[in-house]
Amino acid sequence: MDSDTGDEERSGRGGVIVLLAVLAATAAAVLGVHWAVSVLFATVVAAAVLIRAPSRRKTAEKIDVFSGEADRLAGIKGALAATDMPLYLLDARENIVFENPVAAKTFGEGPVGQHVSLRNRSPAILDMVRETIAAGKSTEVEYSERLPSTQVYAVNCAEVAASVQGSGVARYFVLSFRDISETRRLDRMRSDFVANASHELRTPLAAVGGFIETLQGPARKDPKAAEKFLGIMMEQVNRMNRLVDDLLSLSRLELKAHIAPSEKVDLGPLLGQVRDGLTHLANDLDVELRLHLPENPVVVTGDRDELMQVFENLIQNACKYGQEGKKVDITLGGGGETPVEVTVRDYGQGIPAEHIPRLTERFYRVSVEASRSKKGTGLGLAIVKHILTRHRARLIVTSKEGEGSAFTVRF
């Protein structure tokens, strides 16, 4: 504001000087005085310079408005560049003005200035961009990419708020891609889990219900049949009990997944104890359990009961599913400089390679029938994985069809 008043003053003063100079020059010319004309001519030039000065200031001001716009754009770009999500800045003609580094990394780098359709051909996204530019309202669509892996994005287009200068300022729009693949995967897992759990419970429940009906009807006066059916019902109830126990155990483990255990556990005696507990099962299945321990004690930081649960399930599985091999080797090794490892190896049928990555999923079984007939719930390895995650340990599975499998826990 001050500078505006200054400019007016100066142009006013310049005008008066020019007027005086012209009058004086006319008088001098009339008088025929040469030197006076030259002096007055100089005065006119000086006045003209004075008058021009404010107009140059006006141009400078216009440039200021323009560079304000450039600053605003630079500010927007800076903010977009620092955001950890693929983002594009578009102008009102749907051309890409800027892409942030995450966008370049995720969808590939491309030259700026191009129409957005040259970067993404999804009709839903292009319609959305057009709609946002026309209506000025932010909109969102879902977009998924199949390659290289399935990714789901919530894509949003919103106008960047215009700056205070208001009219005449270019409009910009931010096109953002929020990755919701993980949320979708968890949603699917949760609903699969509920579906699986209810299915697993429904089968024994239906069996128990069926036998109760038979006992109330046709078999009412048949004590022999009643005894047999009650035996089957007890088995089904036990199965449901195991399932509920496993489910509870899983949810308890999930609750403390981030709390690392602190106990010191000597693995040699622990494995001996697990082996003793399973000798009965192994004898029933005609499998020999062979424990190989090093001379020195091997101690790890862990939760004793949970580690027992891990090795119980691995050895149980080896006996149940590797029964034909007739023996199971349990080997403890490592310690000191090398990582501590416990390997449970069976010599049974082995596991086809395509099943190995999915073994630790809840309710995943290579053969549902085989597992059910062996009283499996399909939750054992899911529990193992949870416990090992909490122990910062890994489960490594190797298997050769026809030769057997090895499950190694590496601490």
Ligand X SMILES: Nc1ncnc2c1ncn2[C@@H]1O[C@H](COP(=O)(O)OP(=O)(O)OP(=O)(O)O)[C@@H](O)[C@H]1O
Q: Which does 143 bind (CB under 5 to 8 A by kind): ligand X, Mg ion, none?
A: none
Residue span binding ligand X (CB under 6 A) among the ranges 62-70, 265-273, 292-300, 365-373: 365-373
**What tokens appear for 149 in the block?**
């892996």
Per CB under 6 A, 376 contacts ligand X: yes
Residue span binding ligand X (CB under 6 A) among the ranges 136-144, 148-156, 162-170, 316-324: 316-324
Among 322, 330, 387, 390, binds ligand X (CB under 6 A): 322
Per CB under 6 A, 287 contacts ligand X: no
- Phi then psi for residue 40, to 5 deg, are -70, -35
Cα–Cα distance, 381 to 398 (Å, whole number): 15
Closest-CB residue for ligand X? Answer: 380
Number of residues engaging ligand X in binding (CB under 6 A)? 22
Cα–Cα distance, 100 to 89 (Å, whole number): 8
Contact at 8 Å (CB) between 345 and 331?
Answer: yes
Total H helices, total E strands in the chain:
10, 12
Cα–Cα distance, 55 to 78 (Å, whole number): 35
Cα–Cα distance, 135 to 120 (Å, whole number): 21
Contact at 8 Å (CB) between 402 and 349?
Answer: yes
Residue 306 CB, shortest distance to Mg ion, in Å, is 15
Nearest C-alpha neighbor of 253 from the set 381, 410, 397: 381
Three-state SS at 165? coil
Q: Which does 176 bind (CB under 5 to 8 A by kind): Mg ion, ligand X, none?
A: none
Nearest C-alpha neighbor of 84 from the set 101, 72, 98: 101
Site for Mg ion in 363-382 (CB under 5 A): 380
Q: Which does 328 bind (CB under 5 to 8 A by kind): ligand X, Mg ion, none?
A: none
Residue 244 CB, shortest distance to ligand X, in Å, is 12
Residue span binding ligand X (CB under 6 A) among the ranges 67-75, 137-145, 279-287, 375-383: 375-383
Residue 349 CB, shortest distance to ligand X, in Å, is 7
Residue span binding Mg ion (CB under 5 A) among the ranges 12-20, 65-73, 155-163, 317-325: 317-325
Q: Which does 379 bind (CB under 5 to 8 A by kind): Mg ion, ligand X, none?
A: ligand X
What is the residue-wise DSSP string for 90-154? EETTSBEEEE-HHHHHHH----TTSBGGGT---HHHHHHHHHHHHH---EEEEEEE-SSS-EEEE
Q: Which is nearer to ligand X, 177 or 363 (CB)?
A: 363
Supply angle C-alpha 381, 385, 387, rounded to 5: 115
Per CB under 6 A, 351 contacts ligand X: yes
Q: Which is nearer to ligand X, 86 or 380 (CB)?
A: 380
Site for ligand X in 379-408 (CB under 6 A): 379-381, 405
Residue span binding ligand X (CB under 6 A) among the ranges 24-32, 122-130, 198-206, 373-381: 373-381
Site for ligand X in 201-260 (CB under 6 A): 246
Residues that bind Mg ion (CB under 5 A): 313, 317, 380
Q: Which residues bind ligand X (CB under 6 A)?
A: 246, 313, 317-318, 321-322, 346, 348, 351, 359, 364-367, 371, 376-381, 405
